[in-house]
Amino acid sequence: MATIISGKDLAGNIKEALRSKLAKIGKKPSLAVVLVGDDPASKVYVGSKERSAVEVGIRSVVKKLPGNTAEQELAELVKELNEDIGINGILVQLPLPGHINADRILAQISPKKDVDGLHPLNMGKLLLGQEPYFYPCTPSGIMEMIHSSKIDLKGKNAVVIGRSNIVGKPIAQMLMKEHATVTICHSRTKDIKSFTKAADIIVVAIGRPKFLTADMVKEGTAVFDVGMNRLESGLVGDVDFEGVKDKCSFITPVPGGIGLMTVAMLMKNCIKSIEIQ
């Protein structure tokens, strides 16, 4: 039976450490979160970030814009936040409405205020094996879970299912940085099972409910589930948790897993932003 890595416990410990750090620094960083439109999931995520900011001692400023906001108007708001010395971190909540090019908007955030770690400069440094100003939050949360569980990555076979810029690509780079051998699978990969059956570590971020099943996993694999899928039965991940857990050495739950760690790492990046600036 797997050890269940609790995101709730680990995130709570991280936030407590951040509160102590802020008390010693004597400064209160400010996070600006930009929300465009009325996407229900985005509203939930922004609310969670606001609550966590208050818990840690970070000032949260939420900028809400209507769904029909022009891309140029959003770009001008980002420029204002870049120039505002009272704002330390900027996060534009994704996804954006279809008429707005998210890549162009993210590229206009100052790399030193890019607490989501998605600016081309930060992502480029990650690709080159250099130290970015900020690492992306969800991959950072996964790495914290790996380290807290004392999982040695050196020489291990890691499979990442999903190739998004937010999770799949950056976590692959971070795993390689710690000397894992990494394979990226995705929706067009043929016979994904042949890859996952040979994996020591699996990160699943494909957006398909209960996609990874017990027959796809070998005994003793560590499984990290990034998925958040809302079904009539409730919130489930990309992993068939009940089926897979008895074969794993470690597994993360949904809810109560990586999602909470993502927010905790955002708070960590916000505090790092005042040190950088």
pLDDT at 2: 87
Percent of the chain beyond pLDDT 70?
100
Q: Where are the domains of the chain?
A: 26-110, 137-259
Question: What is the spatial distance between Cα 101 and Cα 226, in angstroms, rounded to a whole number?
Answer: 24
pLDDT band at 189 (very low <50, low <70, confident <90, very high): very high
- Cα separation, 118 vs 116, in Å, equals 6
Helix (H), strand (E) at residue 35: strand 30-36
pLDDT attached to residue 277: 84
* 221 three-class SS: strand
Question: Hey, which CATH number is domain 137-259, 3.10.20.30, 3.40.50.720, 3.40.50.300, 3.40.1350.10?
Answer: 3.40.50.720
Name the residues annotated as catalytic: 49, 93, 116
In this structure, the chain runs to a length of 277
Percentages helix, strand, coil for the chain, rounded to the nearest 5?
45, 20, 40
- pTM assigned to the model: 0.95
Whether 26 has a pLDDT exceeding 90, the answer reads no
The pair of three-digit structure tokens given for residue 201, joined into one six-digit string: 């570590």
Amino acid, res. 107: A
- Sheet with 59-65, strands from edge to edge, namely 59-65, 30-36, 89-92
CATH architecture of 26-110: 3-Layer(aba) Sandwich (3.40)
Contact 127, 173 (CB under 8 A): yes
pLDDT above 90 covers what percent of the chain? 90
